[in-house]
Amino acid sequence: MTPNLLSILVPLYNEEEFVAAILHRVLQAPLPAGLEREIIVVDDGSTDESGEIVAAVAGQYDCIRMVRHPRNLGKGASIRTALEHARGEFALIQDADLEYNPCEYGKLLKPLLDDRADAVFGSRFALAGERRVLYFWHALANHILTTICNLASDLNLTDMETCYKAFRTSLARGIPLRSNRFGIEPELTIKLAKREARIYEVPISYHGRTYAEGKKIEFWDALAALAVILRYWLSSDIYKEAGPEILEAFSNAARFNQWMADTIRPYTGKTVLEIGAGIGNLTRQLIARRKRYIASDIDAQHLARLASRFQYRPNFEARQCDLGRAEDFEELRECADTVVCLNVLEHIADDRAGLRNIHRALQPGGRAIVLVPQGQWAYGKMDEALGHHRRYSMDQLRERMEEAGFEVERILEFNRVSLPGWYLNGKLLGRNTVSAAQLRVFDKMVWLWRRVDRFLPWAPTSLIAIARKPG
């Protein structure tokens, strides 16, 4: 994504009367200082002169690009296509008519630019701005759909169906959007909520069209939206890739995360640097009673989610940090008495350099807690999906830690019970994700696994090295 670039996504179908006017309004709309724009128009199989008009305008401005669908697929399909071509750090949906006013872009973008939000909805019903007074039944249907969508997403929006939705482009592109028509509105809303995005709403003005003037939403679209809400209320389809999907599945395994936290808590000090915090599964277990807790990750969306989850913790700090980059640890030199690094080292091509960076971040006498997957023989499709370079033996892990300058106190064997399932799913069956149903059953039985795990007669799924930096 290109920083300080706004991608304006324009789905277009048979708007020859209005499209030139809206493009010029978009071009002239004031943007916050330092922000540039690109306009991506998706001609969704128009049968009038819309495409030709856009081509003529685009010939005058380098910032306008047009993509054509060979046939009409719907607004949702057009937004998907536009997102695939978007290059901006932020994106905003703009209908190709004159119902919404581009002069309000600054209002929509402010919570994003202030890093308070991951998505912003422009509400036509909030108590500000102006709107053309039109159809009662249309407004009632909107309120009903918004209320039902709020039930499904646990939000309190006033206008789910609004066209004006702005968001971080990387976040939206990481969400699998399936709806082709107007169902894109509730689908995107529910999936943003399930991704725990920080969603804001700002009031906007609205100048709606009558049906005689070309309004396209009909009664059947409202019924279809209800079906979409029900479908995605019950669905966990919120990631395009298997790796984040596995991470999300484990975020719901509260008992398992508690088990992991309880295992390492006795070795954890008062100032903690957690490397690869992800979406905060372990952070929320360990952050209490710490003087300072730094949660780091390389993924901007994970960091935004962490900031949202722990915004009221005065001891919390989120920062971008790549375990494989020495320069990311310059400001973290000797910052913590404990570095927690769980399920991260195996993702680093040069794991020796990663361990040296952990050593650099520790205060003299500080402790590193490093959890890695055990047994290269168990490496399978799920390891590939998660981006693992390797799995470790106990001797290999000890050797790596000592090479980096650590004194290894002990290596714990953790979670024997899940290794047969991991091997079966990832190695023998070639699956690249975890069944949510299997994980729920596993998590409900953690009370038993904790009691029997050390007695099981096979190797563990994970190894946890407890090591000190000489002081």
The answer for 74, left when phi > 0, alpha when psi is -120 to 50, beta otherwise, is left
Q: Output the pLDDT for position 245.
A: 61
Sequence-distant (≥ 6) Cβ neighbours of residue 230 within 8 angstroms: 152
Q: Where are the domains of the chain?
A: 2-233, 242-468
- How many angstroms separate the CA atoms of 246 and 377, rounded? 21
CATH superfamily of 2-233: Spore Coat Polysaccharide Biosynthesis Protein SpsA; Chain A (3.90.550.10)
User: 312-320: long-range contacts (C-beta < 8 A, 24 or more apart)?
Assistant: 313/287, 315/287, 315/290, 315/291, 316/287, 317/292, 317/293, 318/277, 318/294, 319/294, 319/295, 320/296
pTM of the model: 0.75
Residue 437: the pLDDT is 76
- The Cα–Cα gap between 333 and 408 comes to 21
pLDDT at 438: 79
469, 365 Cβ separation under 8 angstroms: yes
Choose which CATH entry (3.30.930.10, 3.40.50.620, 3.40.50.150, 3.40.50.300) describes domain 242-468.
Answer: 3.40.50.150
Helix/strand/coil for 319: strand
User: How many C-beta atoms lie closer than 10 Å to residue 234's C-beta?
Assistant: 9
Length of the chain: 471
Question: Once rounded to an integer, what is the mean pLDDT over residues 211-227?
Answer: 69
Quick one: pLDDT band at residue 431, thresholds 50, 70, 90?
Answer: confident
Q: Please give the Cα distance from 79 to 175 (Å, whole number).
A: 12
Which of 389-417 are b and which e, b meaning 16 or more Cβ less than 10 Å from the residue's Cβ? ebbbeeebbbebbeebebebeebebbbbb
Mean pLDDT, residues 336-353: 96
The 10s digit of each residue's pLDDT in 249-304 is 666 688 999 999 999 999 999 999 999 998 888 999 999 999 999 999 998 878 88
Alpha-carbon torsion (243, 247, 253, 259), positive or negative: positive
Q: Decide: 383 and 358 in contact? Cβ < 8 Å.
A: no
